[in-house]
Amino acid sequence: MAGIYIHIPFCRKACHYCNFHFSTNTKSIHEMKDAIIKEAALRRNYLNETVETIYFGGGTPSLLASESLQEIIETLNTTFTVDANAEITLEANPDDINEARLQEWKQLGINRLSIGVQSFFEEDLKWMNRAHSAQQAEQSILLAQQAGFNNITIDLIYGTPTLTDEQWKQNVQKAFALNIPHLSCYALTVEPKTALANMIEKHIMADVSGDTQSRQFELLMQWIEEAGWQHYEISNFAKPGHRSRHNSSYWQGNPYIGLGPSAHSFNGTSRQWNIANNALYLKSIQQDIVPFETETLSVIEQVNEYIMTSLRTMEGLSFNAIRKKWSNHVAEEIKIDAKKFITHQLMIYTDEHLILTRKGKLVADGIAADLFRTA
């Protein structure tokens, strides 16, 4: 099983918190589409497995004309071996969604929408500098459902200074009421060199509260469990049978190719990432050169990557998987180091798996780092 990620590096507006690679100057959007298509051809031999997921991310992929999306999808189908039942996801902003575009996307074979809602409250959206309104947020979901999209996920952000616990509950309950099958929920992170970081530094905006974020994450986990949903990855929640196949593939360590500026690729033993500069990316592709850096993962790095990704999932870390791919010695070392976390009820050991508890999920990165191998 393999996946394809396509990075569309353009946005209508710059959200205050975002540190992804994008530009608000869309003049080169058609040229970028052509370059991505050419990159696919240049890298046709990167994947040797059947592609089961395609993901248009960004940026804002819904800025692309349907004709451009069609060209890219047709190229992927002719360049790679794409499964007939592949999951094809398009990230879309609420302000880009209307009846006509939804029908066009559906005809192209796009069968999953990831809608960047972030909040159903106007004050939150204004604080984030989002391009859509609260009304558009809800309306976009209803329009997508009416167009026949049943596989929908939305993004929600918690831990912002404008969001009370009660409003956070209303956001989550609204998602439940709209009968969508999947949620991705993220704690607001103040990334360096973003507009948000600059405004906090200048005391124009209030800083985020770690205590608030932890409390709202704990509330979220409680509501998800009460609703009968699966908390199948730290930031992802789904009704049974509605997990993201594409993102799940990442966490399972499956190979994928990333096309477009700043996109990452992984073939099982090495990673590579394209240059995060639109002009230089376009210039290089025109010269038949894919501008990327690469690193080959050592055995220790592969083990640590597995520790980090597996602990994020509800299935947890499998000692049998570690024994099969690496060694019994590595498995036993990790088991010894994990004892203190089991004692403090941060994780449980069951059926040769280590699984984070709710309490453990609050400090997942720290636990993973402590279990990392050094030799």
Please give the pLDDT value at position 262. Answer: 97
Mean pLDDT across the chain: 95
Residue spans of the domains in the chain: they are: 2-251, 299-371
pLDDT at 194: 76
Token pair 């298509």 in the structure block, residue: 37
Percent of the chain with pLDDT over 70: 100
Beta strands 270-274 and 264-266 are antiparallel
**Cα–Cα distance measured from residue 65 to residue 72, given in angstroms and rounded to the nearest whole number:** 11
Q: Categorize the per-residue pLDDT at 29 as very low, low, confident or very high, splitting at 50, 70 and 90.
A: very high
- The pLDDT of residue 200 is above 80: no
- DSSP H stretches of helix in the chain: 29-42, 66-79, 99-107, 122-128, 134-146, 165-177, 195-201, 210-226, 245-251, 278-286, 299-311, 319-325, 328-343, 358-361, 364-371
Domains 2-251 and 299-371 share a fold: no
Q: CA–CA separation, 119 vs 298, rounded Å?
A: 41
What pLDDT sits at residue 13?
A: 84
Cβ proximity of 230 and 237 under 8 Å:
yes
Residue 154 C-beta-side C-alpha neighbours within 13 Å: 28
Domain 2-251, CATH class in plain words = alpha beta
**CATH class name, domain 299-371:** mainly alpha
Q: What is the mean pLDDT of residues 365-374?
A: 96
How far is residue 37's CA from residue 41's CA, in Å, rounded to a whole number? 7
pLDDT at residue 21, as a whole number: 86
Give the model confidence (pLDDT) of 70-106 as tens digits: 999 999 999 999 999 999 999 999 999 999 999 999 9
At 17 the pLDDT is 80
Q: Distance between CA atoms of 188 and 127, rounded to whole angstroms?
A: 12
What's the pTM? 0.94
Residue 195 has pLDDT above 80, yes or no: no
Q: Give pLDDT tens digits for 269-307.
A: 899 999 999 999 999 999 999 999 999 999 999 999 999
Average pLDDT over residues 333-350: 97
DSSP output for 77-89:
HHHS-EEEEEEEE
Closest CA to 115 of 80, 70, 156: 156
| Amino acid 209: pLDDT | 81
State the average pLDDT over residues 350-374.
97
Q: Residue 176, exposed/middle/buried by CB under 10 A (0-12, 13-18, 19+)?
A: middle
Mean pLDDT along residues 230-258: 96
Residues 63, 9: contact at Cβ < 8 Å? no
- What pLDDT is stored for residue 210 in this prediction? 86
- Is the confidence at residue 35, as pLDDT, over 90? yes
Please report which confidence band the pLDDT of residue 20 belongs to, taking 50, 70 and 90 as the band edges: confident
